[in-house]
Structure 1
Amino acid sequence: MLDYNVPGGKLNRGISVIDSYQLLKEGSQLTDDEFFLSSVLGWCIEWLQAYFLVVDDIMDNSHTRRGQPCWFRLPKVGLIAINDGVLLRNHIPRMLKLHFKEKPYYVDLLDLFNEVEFQTASGQMLDLITTHDGEQDLSKYKFPVYQRIVQYKTAYYSFYLPVACALVMSGEKLDNFVEVKNILVEMGTYFQVQDDYLDCFGAPEVIGKIGTDIEDFKCSWLIVQALERANENQMKLLSENYGKSDPACVTKVKAVYNDLNLQSVFAEYEAASYEQLISSIEAQPSKAVQEVLKSFLHKIYKRQK
């Protein structure tokens, strides 16, 4: 179960803890102990990610993840995967206790992981209650709703958590880095918009999964943009076909996306977001923090290239 769910993917979240810690030390070589401890925190985030993905795939009734069947889809697993997710989550405090109990920042790490898990679960709840059978209503899909879901479900654990771990290890107080947190959350929104775009327009063999946002009635960036631009006929097509698993319905929704030229809309959004984020990053007083934030941004920007 661990081998199937934890080490897959690009491991960007975990690796980013080590990279961020190295950059915060401004060129000083990490000692073996520092490298090991930052690696442990990186793996804690990857275990947290594995936990989220295992249970999220069940809730979304997904089929593939990272180029292979979702864990719960395996014949001998099924809904045992729920308990597997609980096991994945419960290993994190065990690893923190084993390796950090004597560190002065041990409690800060526990608080950080607990808070970020709560934020992510809250984002998942917001996502699920907008897609629940009987509650499906496209009129609710406005950008502020989308932004709130994304910030809580993705941005905190994928972007803020790795940098926060590195800052805590460096002896910093997170309360002094609120603006850095805000930039990382905005970066997470940018990442999720890109993810939503790839769910529809990306090749499954490249992104590692079959996109199902249309079938799942997801409050994705694409449907939010489409609803803002659709004429009466296009709105009727979206209302009749969005959230249906029939391939013909999915094709009709994608046809509306193409008619509205959402690929160009995404390209404009991407360019504007990148410039805004670079401007915010360069306003940070610490050169080391600037480098940490730029390294994150460049990883996202290169993701679909």
Structure 2
Amino acid sequence: MTSRDVTPTSLNHQRFQNAWPILRNDILGDFATKGMPGDAIDWYTKNLEYNTLGGKLLRGRAVVDSLAILKGRVLTDEEYFQAAVLGWSVELLQAFGLVADDIMDQSLTRRGHPCWYKVGDVGLRAINDACILEGTIFILLKKHFRGRDDYIEIVELFREMIYRTGMGQLLDVLTGPEHHVDLEKFSIERYRLIAIHKSAYFSIYLPIALAMLMHGIPRESPAHEAAMQISFSLGEYGQVQDDFIDFAGSPEHTGKVGTDIVNNKCSWCIITALALSKPEQRRVLEENYGRKGVENEGRVRTVFEQVGLREQYAAYEEETYRRVTRMIEAIPDDEAAPALKGGVFKAFLDKLYKRTK
């Protein structure tokens, strides 16, 4: 049975969305029991709706998709709702990270709309709003999972993912500080470390690991170790895609204005361009990368085109698809192996392949 057999896309998307109003009411109800006044509840509601909704929901839906694949059948209503609680908790983790990340990067748009800190009089109140979004995760987990045997493992997994993602963000800002451009610090080894911690752990491994825990596969099993290693490769692939889309995608299509060049990001694009550039092209990159001017950004983009960045990315994508496919086929045999090989990771890989936003 394939992932398509157990998780028809349009139906699953709507079913996943249907769980949100229930969980939102749970969240706001808990908030109200803490004695919060009406204006605070209104602000919290806007924070939740603006920052949690509007994305593709790929990470959250991956929890329910993966659990259905592991079970080899359509989930019961109870199973689906429990998995959706975890899926929306992943989406809340994503929302928390994006609110904070947009402030640090001074981004302007997210998902086709102004970043939260740019909305009305939000400003730096968004820092506290990000903290509240993080705390919301554990309110949901406590309400819906406290009586389950896997509750502690699930809470610890979320805590670890938050910690790992923070490590990745730290490496990111230390490697490419806004006001000090030093391209010598950019390396593919450093880049991979950032990608694993900032992207792979929570974007790929977390949804799959949550489904595996719900299915009764302990974290000490060989299947979890294989899942982590494949997640690292998929996470790096997804981060490279994000970097390339930041350079090559249009805001009309992606919903976001690219900022990596002006923000001195240690991205796959600049690392690849540095490796391929001639001396005069490298001088252009050193003199213009990380500068805020439109002309500076334009000069960097010109070098990216000159060194054939689009062709390099196409070749990288094809090679990565083949390599990760081989890793999936090599998953050690145990009771979870058939579903992991034939569905869970292949579904993730297929969602990433040729992604344009």
- The alignment's TM-score, normalised by the length of structure 2, stands at 0.84
Preserved CA contact (<8 Å) 1:278 1:294: yes
Preserved CA contact (<8 Å) 1:129 1:135: no
Task: Trace 1:23-62 onto structure 2 (pairs within 5 A).
Answer: 23-27=69-73, 29-62=74-107
User: Would you say how many aligned residue pairs link Structure 1 and Structure 2?
Assistant: 304
In the other structure, the counterpart of 2:215 is 170
CA distance in 2, matches of 1:133, 1:79: 19
Please tell me the residue identity of whatever aligns with 1:132.
P
Shift of 1:131: 2.0
Secondary structure of the structure 2 residue equivalent to 1:211: coil
CA distance 1:232–1:302, shift in 2 (3 Å): closer
Instruction: Confirm or deny that 1:132 pairs with 2:183.
Output: no
Return the match for 2:63 from 17, 30, 36: 17
Shift of 1:185: 1.3
In the other structure, the counterpart of 1:84 is 129
CA distance in 1, matches of 2:289, 2:306: 16
Shift of 1:113: 0.2
Q: Which runs of 5+ in 2 are unaligned?
A: 1-46
Secondary structure of the structure 1 residue equivalent to 2:353: helix
- The percentage of counterpart residues that share the same residue type is 43
Return the match for 2:231 from 184, 194, 208: 184
Instruction: Confirm or deny that 1:304 pairs with 2:356.
Output: yes
CA distance in 2, matches of 1:75, 1:93: 28
In the other structure, the counterpart of 1:107 is 152
Instruction: Confirm or deny that 1:205 pairs with 2:252.
Output: yes
Instruction: Confirm or deny that 1:289 pairs with 2:340.
Output: yes
Task: Trace 1:60-79 onto structure 2 (pairs within 5 A).
Answer: 60-79=105-124
RMSD: 1.1
Please tell me the residue identity of whatever aligns with 1:115.
E
Please tell me the residue identity of whatever aligns with 1:236.
R
In the other structure, the counterpart of 1:280 is 327
CA distance in 2, matches of 1:32, 1:302: 33
Deviations 1:253-280 (A, max 9, x none): 0110111011111111110000000111
Deviations 1:220-261 (A, max 9, x none): 001001111111101110000000111111110011011101
- Which protein shows a greater Rg? 2
Deviations 1:151-181 (A, max 9, x none): 1011110000000000010111122120121
Shift of 1:304: 1.9
- The alignment's TM-score, normalised by the length of structure 1, stands at 0.98
Preserved CA contact (<8 Å) 1:130 1:136: no
Shift of 1:134: 5.0
Deviations 1:77-99 (A, max 9, x none): 00110110010000111110100
CA distance in 1, matches of 2:246, 2:102: 15
Q: Which runs of 5+ in 1 are unaligned?
A: none
Shift of 1:214: 0.2
CA distance in 1, matches of 2:57, 2:179: 37
CA distance 1:134–1:249, shift in 2 (3 Å): closer
Preserved CA contact (<8 Å) 2:178 2:290: no
Deviations 1:30-50 (A, max 9, x none): 111100000000000000000
Preserved CA contact (<8 Å) 2:181 2:289: no
CA distance in 2, matches of 1:39, 1:7: 14
CA distance in 2, matches of 1:302, 1:13: 17
Preserved CA contact (<8 Å) 2:269 2:304: yes
Please tell me the residue identity of whatever aligns with 2:70.
L
In the other structure, the counterpart of 2:303 is 256
Please tell me the residue identity of whatever aligns with 2:315.
E
Please tell me the residue identity of whatever aligns with 1:299.
K
CA distance in 2, matches of 1:75, 1:10: 25
